[in-house]
Structure 1
Amino acid sequence: MKTKKKTTIKDIANVLGITPSAVSKALNDHPRISKETKQAVKQIAENLNYQPNHLASALRKGKSNLIGVIVPRTNSHFFSSVLENIEKILNKEGYKVIITQSNESYRKECENIDTLLFTQVDGIIASLANETINFSHFEKIKTKGIPLILYDRGDNDINVDYIGIDDFQSSHLVVDHLVNQNCKRIAHIGGFRHTRIFKNRILGFNDALAKHNLSLDKELILEGDLTLKDGRKKMKKLLSLSNPPDAVYAASDYAALGALQVMQEHNINVPNDIALVGFSNEPFTSFVKPSITTVNQNAGEIGRIAAETLIKRINQENWKPTLTKNILNSELIIRESSKKV
């Protein structure tokens, strides 16, 4: 089938008998073009289904008013809340947001960055995929002089602005609470250590155990991708131990939900036999029975600060960056899954 030719500014000019330059000025609301000409141009543009070439416009102006945002996955309430606030702030400043998803894939993350750079975005806000251990694709953004902000998952080696929570201290909140519930053998279902936030959650967990004079049992610390399926798998492994835990702290609510399902299938009383704590405050944590204790990451604030920091970077000319590292406090939301009777 023959592809329909795309309408150009020249086509509109030919219909009206004016120059392509006049059409371009009319479409951009130039003050020297009459109101009647602007109306005529816009009417013909609509009739011919004219679509402006934003890439060409960006190349001419040196500014696209487009911002790229990379999320590891969109099926997370945390990431969707961050996105909502990023978009709200950027839209108010006249920017449109292009959202890309890595699906926790390093390869897809690289492709997303290449696409955003080709689109001539004015800045990028990103959170790293679980698979990412090489950061050369992010260095490519910096080399091109495009502002880059990392949120939630970042890495000190990239050396850019970062916004997130204190993951180390968050683990202390969890362990302190579980110890107060008289838990003494606490397991941790964590993310991969090469990701900074999950490494800090594990370090905080270990430090909190030491603070309470609890022994560190390596067989109780498991790493994975923190999906619901992974939570089920890790919980089965913990239950197979000769001395199972009396509490489980999962670094994701989805893994916590998987763990809860397995415990219920084995008729384990949660929290009296095994207490459970998740991470991220996904909406389902308050609906399931028992409701799941979790850590609130202040997603809205992270999104707001990330967007405001990016705007500041874009508006600074010839700046020598003093990098900002915004570390926000988290909040432990105590629910039924960890309150022993």
Structure 2
Amino acid sequence: MKKQKATIHDIAEKLKITASTVSRALNDNPRISEATKKKVLKIAKQLNYQPNHIASALRSGKSRLIGVIVPTANRNFFSSVIRGIEEIANSLNYKIIISQSYDEFDKEVQTVEALLNARVDGIIASIGKATENFDHFEKIMNKGIPLVLFDRISNELEVSQVVIDDYLGAYQTVDHLIQNGCKRIVHFTSTQRINIYKERKRGYEDALKDHGLTVDPELIVYSNMQLEDGRKKMEEILKKKISFDGVFSASDYAIMGAMQVLKEHGYKIPEQVKLAGFGNEPFTSFTEPAITTVDQKSIPMGKITAETFFELLNSPNTDTVAKKTILKPELIIRDSSK
């Protein structure tokens, strides 16, 4: 038979005290003596007691848990943001539950539902590429639960947001490529529903215009921005014999794929083609040549996102005005574009 989990009532029975005293002792209530706390903790350890966070949340109204939704956790950017969030949360005795949407709308909706059922005190999220309907995020807000978006946001939602200046990062990168002799720059981008790709494309276009260069739709390439997409799209460009002397990708992964294909076809980088990405993924500094990229200030973004969340959580006013924080990106110039 399956062994039942120990409860506070089991601990109380062992010690011949009330369940409420056990509960207070486990929660480090100052009204309970240190001697009693030690006895309770000792028996709890012996019985392998695991607290029921949902039951605790129902009693107290707080679970001290925060749901964090990211498209994928195996990217340096998202894992670093999570680290920043966790540092602030842990310092305030909160824990985070990390969930991945894998850029799938249905999975994102299911994740929100699961986190709400787990009685989290609030949710921090970065929107998936496939998300067009925001009803699941509206549901969070309608329940009066704090919601903060970071990086991939939507202007359709009146919530607090933390982003970097994607427009500025793209503009500075393309300006740098032009200053170094590029006149026909390919731009790898993705769905324009996602703010980061929309803003990076706008920065790319404005930099071209400000230098008197034409925005050629043939040079703007849409994909999912993975390494294989960069490879595939660069093969297509070469096959079509499209003239270009630079590539600016809104993702480091796609520019890495493009670089591989260009090298396989005998192109010299940066002599014949100059390359720049976005994200400052660790591999960009180890390639040959090292890839010029934009640092997104991921750990500071995580910390500021968490601080924004706790401001909301601790605000007595439920009608708090949504706040947008924009961080300044940093262009890191390396050999791929010099």
TM-score by length of 2: 0.96
Mapping 1:93-172, distance limit 5 Å: 93-172=92-171
Correspondence for 2:325: 326
- Residue deviations 1:7-40 (CA, integer Å, cap 9, x gap): 1122222223333233223323344444433322
CA apart distance, 1:158: 0.8
Correspondence for 2:279: 280
- C-alpha spacing 1:217/1:34, structure 2 compared with 1 (3 Å): closer
Correspondence for 1:20: 19
Correspondence for 2:4: 5
1:327 & 1:33 partners in 2: Cα distance? 46
1:91 & 1:129 partners in 2: Cα distance? 26
Question: AA paired with 1:247?
Answer: G
2:301 & 2:30 partners in 1: Cα distance? 40
CA apart distance, 1:234: 1.1
Question: AA paired with 2:196?
Answer: I
2:267 & 2:106 partners in 1: Cα distance? 41
DSSP 3-state at the match of 2:336? helix
- Residue deviations 1:114-161 (CA, integer Å, cap 9, x gap): 111111111211111111111111101101101111111101101111
Mapping 1:295-314, distance limit 5 Å: 295-314=294-313
Mapping 1:246-261, distance limit 5 Å: 246-261=245-260
2:126 & 2:100 partners in 1: Cα distance? 10
Runs of 5+ consecutive residues of structure 1 not aligned to the other structure = none
- C-alpha spacing 1:4/1:211, structure 2 compared with 1 (3 Å): same
TM-score by length of 1: 0.95
DSSP 3-state at the match of 1:259? helix
DSSP 3-state at the match of 1:157? coil
CA apart distance, 1:84: 1.0
Question: AA paired with 1:146?
Answer: I
Contact 1:238–1:245 (CA<8 Å) still a contact in 2?
no
Mapping 1:262-277, distance limit 5 Å: 262-277=261-276
2:146 & 2:118 partners in 1: Cα distance? 15
Between 1:22-31 and 1:274-283, the stretch displaced more is 22-31
DSSP 3-state at the match of 1:276? strand
Correspondence for 2:179: 180
Structure 2 residue 50 is the aligned partner of structure 1 residue 46: no
Superposition CA RMSD, Å: 1.4
2:60 & 2:138 partners in 1: Cα distance? 25
Question: AA paired with 1:48?
Answer: L
Percent identity of equivalent pairs? 51
